[in-house]
Amino acid sequence: DSPVEVPPVAAVDITQFVLVDPPDEPLDVFPPMDVNAEVMPTRSLPHGIPVLPSPSILPSQRSKTRCSKRLRSSAAPEVNPPAPAPKLRLRHTSRDVKLEAACSKLLNTLHKPSPTKVSTLMSQLRRSTKSDYSICGTVFPATLFFDLLKPQQWVSSMQHMDLLISFVWDTYNPFFITRRITILDSMFTSIISNKYMSFKQHNNNKAFVWHPLLISYVKGQVSPRRPELQWMRDVDTVYLPMNWGTRHWVGLAIDLKKGHIDILDPFEDLTSARKVVSFMSPFAQMLPEHILSVCGSIPALWPDTAFTFTRVPGLAQNKRGGDCGPLSVKFMEFTMLGLQSSLLNITPTQIDNARLRYALDIYETYVCLGLLEVCLGFYQESIARIDSFISSVGSFRQADAIGSTIFKHIMQIGPVKIRSHANTWHYGDIPTCFAT
């Protein structure tokens, strides 16, 4: 037999094989690491500041986890890297969408609102020029919404500012919980500033008797807010307005981890640096002592004697005056959502739009929506929203008496279906006042 000729084996072209790393998961899909306040070293104010050991590798410097290298032929089919679990991917996408929607809505407040909405609001306000407004348990004058929307109208009343703060809280409440943020009304800074002289004359700061309302603020027991967000445990950043010399409003952002206060000042030329120190020093000295008395311990990173504070540079300035109240609240809103770059350039026209938006949104939220819920049959929700009625009349018994009288008049008129979507027959579903 003749031998079978075997063709020579061709040399292997090693260039056909390459070492390939599967794509790594980008780091920006993971939430940033948060320092657990419970494991941070703590101290009392009289002692020295221990040095916090710096970690050898910061979270941002950690190298990405590399998968093992493997050979893959150029002719092999493409294999996509494994995707995240569906639930995790959807949850992350949902959170980003909500944040983007909130940012978009906030940026939209700088634009001119719908002319139809503006004309409707103005017509409603002109018909109620002699009627007071009862919102969130507080009675406001008939000029409330004109004070909010009129350009360069000085908002001197703490009630007006606190209404803006209540609106911000109701708007971003879920966001505050997840981001460990809270916002307070102007009463907190006002009480602390008024107590400074007695605080300085007290020999033992630990034995100083703090105002019960100040204690409630730190514990998160602010009615009617839910849930209760206690400082240091549930909150890392506190926003609140402060009035300087009864003539200027600024926003404060308190970093509870570092013991530092950022001042959001919409009109810096109005207050000299020396005046800023005189206004802020009492607050900065009393605040750590008050938090220590309520929480029992504080981070070791805090300054030894008082919080540090500084005015945030580069913010848009409203030098025409009169708009510092609503504008300082708007500064706090932008800072909460991480939109500080949008605060660099804000025109007077945008400030006017922001004031008008506040008036529109507050009217729709606290005045119109409660009445609409009654018409739609959501009696429990409407009663919860118009809770200020009971506060304005003085007692549950009086409120129930007024409601019973109105109910009798309605029954005499008889059930009338005034809208196709309104069910006015279920009068018996309206809950009676159980406290009488």
pLDDT averaged over every residue in the chain: 74
Assign 263 a pLDDT band (cuts: 50, 70, 90).
Answer: very high
More confident residue, 20 or 405: 405
Proportion of the chain above pLDDT 70, given as a percent: 62
Assign 260 a pLDDT band (cuts: 50, 70, 90).
Answer: very high
* C-beta of residue 374 within 8 angstroms of C-beta of residue 419: no
Average pLDDT over every residue of 56-65: 44
- The DSSP line for 216-245 is HHHHT--TT-SS---BTTTBSEEEEEEEET
Measured in whole angstroms, the distance separating CA 73 from the mean position of its chain's CA atoms is 54
Assign 253 a pLDDT band (cuts: 50, 70, 90).
Answer: very high
pLDDT tens, residue by residue, 102-122: 888 899 999 999 899 899 889
Average pLDDT over every residue of 206-218: 90
Assign 86 a pLDDT band (cuts: 50, 70, 90).
Answer: very low
Assign 29 a pLDDT band (cuts: 50, 70, 90).
Answer: very low
- Side-chain half-sphere of 161: how many Cα atoms within 13 Å? 29
What CA–CA distance (Å, rounded) separates 104 from 218?
31
Average pLDDT over every residue of 429-436: 39
pLDDT tens, residue by residue, 166-178: 999 988 888 888 8
What CA–CA distance (Å, rounded) separates 258 from 40?
12
pLDDT at 94 over 70: no
The model carries a pTM of: 0.65
pLDDT of residue 124: 84
pLDDT at 68 over 90: no
- The DSSP line for 130-186 is T--EEETTEEE-TTHHHHHHSTT-----HHHHHHHHHHHHHHHHHHHHHHTEEE--T
pLDDT of residue 364: 84
pLDDT tens, residue by residue, 35-50: 444 444 444 444 433 3
pLDDT tens, residue by residue, 176-200: 888 999 999 999 999 998 899 889 8
> What are the E-state strand segments in 279-344?
298-299, 308-311
pLDDT at 33 over 80: no
Question: Which residue matches tokens 């005015």?
Answer: 311
More confident residue, 144 or 55: 144
pLDDT tens, residue by residue, 366-410: 876 555 445 545 555 555 555 545 554 555 566 566 666 665 655
Go through the domains of the chain in sequence order and give each one's CATH number: 180-312 (3.30.310.130)
- Which H helix or E strand runs over 126? helix 115-126
Of 195, 210, 202, 186, the C-alpha closest to 282 is 195
pLDDT of residue 200: 87
